[in-house]
Amino acid sequence: MKPLQHKETVESSRTAADEPGQAIYVLRLYVTGTTPKSTRAIHNLTQWCQEHLAGCYDLEVIDIYQQPALAQAEDIIAVPTLLKKQPLPVQRLLGDLSNAQQLVASLGPSPSQP
């Protein structure tokens, strides 16, 4: 199994950063290498962000095998874990992120929705 880099930026889409009132979603996905569950979580989240947060997100994937201190600093006790740092409030979501309804409940409506 090939480990991910300790802090890999998977996607960054900040074209809306110049628009007043437009929220930028800062997301951190903590995974364990390239396990099937971690791979599914990366794929599911990347696809969801491209469809619903286009132009409004910064996503980092952090492999806790490579950087356990980062997981410890954020009190990550299970993986995969998605941590939404911005906009507030901070939210956590566990699992492979295959449930779109859970993503909407945790991340909130997309910026294009009222």
Task: Give domain status of residue 93, yes or no.
Answer: yes
More confident residue, 17 or 25: 25
Pairing relationship of beta strands 81-86 and 91-94 according to DSSP bridges: antiparallel
Task: Give domain status of residue 113, yes or no.
Answer: no
Return all residues near 27 (Cβ < 8 A) that are at least 6 apart: 45, 49, 57, 58, 59, 60, 82, 83, 84, 85, 107
More confident residue, 32 or 14: 32
Mean pLDDT (whole number) for 30-40? 95
The pLDDT assigned to 105 comes to 83
Task: Give domain status of residue 77, yes or no.
Answer: yes
The pLDDT assigned to 21 comes to 61
The pLDDT assigned to 103 comes to 85
The tally of domains found in the chain comes to 1
Structure token pair of residue 25: 């979603």
In degrees rounded to 5, what are phi and psi of residue 31? -135, 170
Closest CA to 8 of 40, 48, 42: 42
Q: How many CB atoms are located within 10 Å of the residue 60 CB? A: 18
Task: Give domain status of residue 81, yes or no.
Answer: yes
Task: Give domain status of residue 15, yes or no.
Answer: yes
For residue 97, the domain's CATH number is 3.40.30.10
Question: Residue 64 in contact with residue 30, Cβ under 8 Å?
Answer: yes
Task: Give domain status of residue 106, yes or no.
Answer: no
Q: Say yes or no to pLDDT of 22 above 80.
A: no
pLDDT digit string (tens) for 63-106?
A: 999 999 999 999 999 999 999 999 999 999 999 999 888 888 88
| pLDDT tier, 107 (very low <50, low <70, confident <90, very high otherwise) | confident
Mean pLDDT (whole number) for 10-15? 48
Mean pLDDT (whole number) for 1-28? 57
User: What stretches of the chain show up as alpha helix (H) in DSSP?
Assistant: 36-52, 68-73, 100-107
Per-residue b or e along 6-26, where b marks 16 or more CB atoms closer than 10 Å to that residue's CB: eeeebbebeebeeeeeebbbe
The pLDDT assigned to 1 comes to 37
* Domain of 18, in residue numbers: 8-101
Task: Give domain status of residue 111, yes or no.
Answer: no
Task: Give domain status of residue 83, yes or no.
Answer: yes
